[in-house]
Chain A
Amino acid sequence: EAGVTQFPSHSVIEKGQTVTLRCDPISGHDNLYWYRRVMGKEIKFLLHFVKESKQDESGMPNNRFLAERTGGTYSTLKVQPAELEDSGVYFCASSRTPNTEAFFGQGTRLTVV
């Protein structure tokens, strides 16, 4: 069974540009999460999808971040326009139910210069 897959693994963009991160969850997992780790800080929650619906987006930093999960399969997280403080590692995770363990992807390291 394939794990959670994220693309790209690394991205370096200039301030003001747009970047789109993609996450393919484990097949059959309705619950999909985005998390972010900023350097020196703990991993923090961004949002939670149940199938194609946003269950909780309380962790999204601001309206420059837009997450979608069309059809309840893969998800994208778009940052537009990117700012320096958006740099960090973005993790995607999926779980079969909300109360079971979440499996994480390898992360996308985003660097905004």
Chain B
Amino acid sequence: EDQVTQSPEALRLQEGESSSLNCSYTVSGLRGLFWYRQDPGKGPEFLFTLYSAGEEKEKERLKATLTKKESFLHITAPKPEDSATYLCAVQAGSGYSTLTFGKGTMLLVSP
């Protein structure tokens, strides 16, 4: 069974204090790893897709990386508006397109 574990569960940062969120996965045949951002009362908002180990993607203050066992979401000089829950999900196996999600990391950035 595919498993996704995110750590930490919650993270509190000061504005400008860079850090990383971790997503470790155990799947049979990774087809894609997805990062989403979710604000309270909203649905997940797509950020990145990574397909193979060594791949990196960037968007503003966020950078996602992928290895064969885990993915990191690096946040550089975060701002209060980066506060949200960050979700990691994997797509695995053959013939299926469903996502298996982790529980998420709740990030709070204080001014």
Contact = CB atoms under 8 A, between A and B. Distances in A.
Interface of A: 4, 6, 31, 33, 35, 41-45, 48, 55-56, 59, 91, 93, 95, 98-107
B97 A99 contact: yes
B103 A42 contact: yes
Interface of B: 4, 31-32, 34, 36, 41-46, 49, 87, 89, 91, 96-104
Contact of A105 (B32, B43, B98, B104): B43
A42 B104 CA distance: 8
Given A35-B99, A43-B101, A101-B46, 7 more contacts: A33-B99, A43-B87, A45-B98, A56-B96, A98-B97, A99-B31, A103-B46
A61 B76 CA distance: 41
A45 B1 CA distance: 13
A84 to B, nearest CB: 22
